[in-house]
A and B are shown apart, each in its own frame.
Chain A
Amino acid sequence: MNEEVYARRKKVNALMFALTAVCAAVASGTLLAILGYIAWKGASSISWAFLTNIPKPLGEQGGGIANSIVGSAKVVGLAGLMGIPVGVLAGVYLAEYGRGKYAFAVRYAADVMNGVPSIVVGLFAYALIVHPMKKFSALSGAVALAFIMVPIVLRNTEEFLRLVPGTIREAALALGVPRWKVTMFVILPTAGRGILTGALLALARVAGETAPLIFTAFGNRFSDNGWLNPIATLPHTIFTYAISPYEDWHNQAWAAALILMAFVLLVNVTARVWLRPSSGTSH
């Protein structure tokens, strides 16, 4: 082979390798940069009082985000209670029974739904619940988040159910066990860890959603008052504080963002550690 051509190829190879490595660094570096910046800006404003107090009246310094933390927990929790069972059972349908046109339509709809802008989902929940009830509410926020969770949980459940080997299904059927029992008591537990992990990740994902909550949960500067009244949530509070003209609110927004990021990161890491199969139980 010609020496010159070979040298040129080696140079191009080195260049392309360097390019891919730099892009990989940008991709992973973004997370570190966000985490670092938020920690730098937010850490100084975090205190016990910040976590346990509700906001001070307008114009006064200080106050906290206790109501937003509780509100986020309530709205996301209720969204999970509604969205996870629907998503899991629909996933069971697709994986175990879904062959015809209906299943194709459901699967396609779920994929499209995954790409629908979350603010549109918020508008839908507004039209569905807020408008008829003539009231912003924790419930409407939870419904909006549940709509976002369902397709994520559904597709994840289907994927993990499909990973269960057909031989396991055959083994259970051959024992004279009815089909639905095979699905509920053999197949579902076998995929259980993956399904639960997906559900946790979906919770973490919607915990950070802001747009669907703007005209559903609406926000509240006081402690919440039941499911049918407006409620403060972390992402929405961050949004409100960040666009305000007050320096004190800006600092609180950074601190609240740090809390939210820490929560999402914690759930993510927990879910991934949990999913990793422990050594003695499988090969």
Chain B
Amino acid sequence: MDMMRPMPLPPETAGAAADKPIVISVRELRAGYGAAPVLKGVNLEVKEKTVTAIIGPSGCGKSTLIRCLNRMHEAIPGATCDGQILLGGRNALDMDPVVLRREVGMVFQRPNPFPTMTIAQNVAAGLVLNGVRDRAVLAETVEKSLRRAALWDEVKDKLDAPGVGLSGGQQQRLCIARALAVEPRVLLLDEPCSALDPIATGRIEELLIQIKDQLTVVIVTHNMQQAARVSEYTVFMLMGEMVEYGLTRKMFTQPADKRTEDYITGRFG
């Protein structure tokens, strides 16, 4: 389909990201469900305050990989995971998952606001459920997070309306605001635009480019143009292995591996 058209090139500034410090370093990560291996020893580094895109065909393990990064993977019965995920010198696999998830937030494929909560309550949920009661702090966090998620102007007059009453794209930005409200260092997004139309997708891509000044973003996407538009680094995965990792601009123009070239030019996948 449109994979054959010329790819939009990522911003020139990408080169400046090369000297940024590493925030997550994945070593020999193996994961699976029951006896079936999905990740077969993945090594990866994520640089601070960048957007890293993970691309690859369906079933290649890209969702499993980012679900390991905040240990949502193990919420599935029978899931297995070993190796090392270093986050600020600690192995995330040895941390208390509750603590880890406050540092590494996540946005899912389908918008999933809490159905019993208002817009404001949805954004504040992470704080309220962890014991924050100060109304001033909560109100401030709600506004700040909604602004960062580029949703404030659309909802500021109806903060007490149900979150599920918003459109799909607005709901997804609400979920981003909810994840940002707990101030994570890293935000993981698992195909956040796959249920959205192109306009809603564009809004989310813009906001990702804006928030990367404040935190690290890792996004799984099916859509290679999306990877090219938003990311500075790209990871190409195939059948549970990391095939290529590098600057997005370079990977989309001069891929080092033949399989990467075949995938991004649309020969398979």
Contact = CB atoms under 8 A, between A and B. Distances in A.
A115 interface: no
A167 B116 CA distance: 14
Given A170-B108, A174-B70, A175-B129, A99 B114 contact: no
A215 B196 CA distance: 64
Tell me what chain A mostly uses at the interface: helix, strand, loop, or mixed.
helix
A175 B126 contact: yes
Nearest to A185: B129
A282 interface: yes
Contact of B98 (A177, A190, A281): A177
A85 interface: no
B181 to A, nearest CB: 8
Interface in B85-108: 98-103, 105-106, 108
A175 B114 contact: no
Contacts of A186: 114, 125, 129
B108 A176 contact: no
Contact of A168 (B70, B99, B106, B112): B112
Contacts of A165: 112
B182 interface: yes
Given A99-B77, A177-B98, A178-B98, A172 B125 contact: yes
B162 A167 contact: no
B116 A174 contact: no
A33 B99 CA distance: 62
A172 B124 CA distance: 12
B116 A189 contact: yes
Contact of B162 (A189, A190, A192, A281): A281
A128 interface: no
B164 A177 contact: no
Interface in A175-215: 175-178, 181-182, 185-186, 189-190, 192
A173 B75 contact: yes
Contacts of A177: 98, 125-126, 129-130
A77 to B, nearest CB: 27
Interface in A33-76: none
A174 B105 contact: yes
Contact of B102 (A172, A176, A190, A282): A176
Interface in B155-188: 162, 164-165, 175, 178-179, 182
From B77, B110, B112, B165, residue with most partner A Cβ within 10 Å: B112
B112 A175 contact: no
A186 B179 CA distance: 16
Contacts of B105: 174-176
Given A174-B106, A175-B125, A175-B126, A190 B116 contact: yes
Contacts of B77: 99
Interface residues of A, number: 25
Interface in A130-185: 165, 167-178, 181-182, 185
A101 interface: no
B164 A282 contact: yes
Contacts of A282: 115, 162, 164
B137 interface: no
A95 to B, nearest CB: 14
Interface in A4-60: none
B72 interface: yes
From B72, B75, B113, residue with most partner A Cβ within 10 Å: B75
A245 interface: no
A176 B115 CA distance: 19
A190 B100 CA distance: 26
A225 B108 CA distance: 59
Contact of B126 (A167, A176, A190, A283): A176
B2 to A, nearest CB: 30
A283 B116 CA distance: 12
Interface of A: 99, 165, 167-178, 181-182, 185-186, 189-190, 192, 280-283
18 contacts: A99-B77, A165-B112, A168-B112, A168-B115, A170-B112, A171-B112, A171-B178, A175-B101, A176-B98, A176-B99, A176-B126, A176-B182, A177-B126, A186-B114, A186-B125, A190-B115, A281-B164, A282-B164
Interface of B: 70, 72, 75, 77, 98-103, 105-106, 108, 110, 112-116, 125-126, 129-130, 162, 164-165, 175, 178-179, 182
Given A171-B114, A172-B114, A175-B129, 15 more contacts: A165-B112, A168-B112, A168-B115, A171-B108, A171-B112, A172-B125, A172-B129, A174-B72, A174-B101, A174-B179, A186-B125, A189-B116, A280-B162, A282-B115, A283-B164
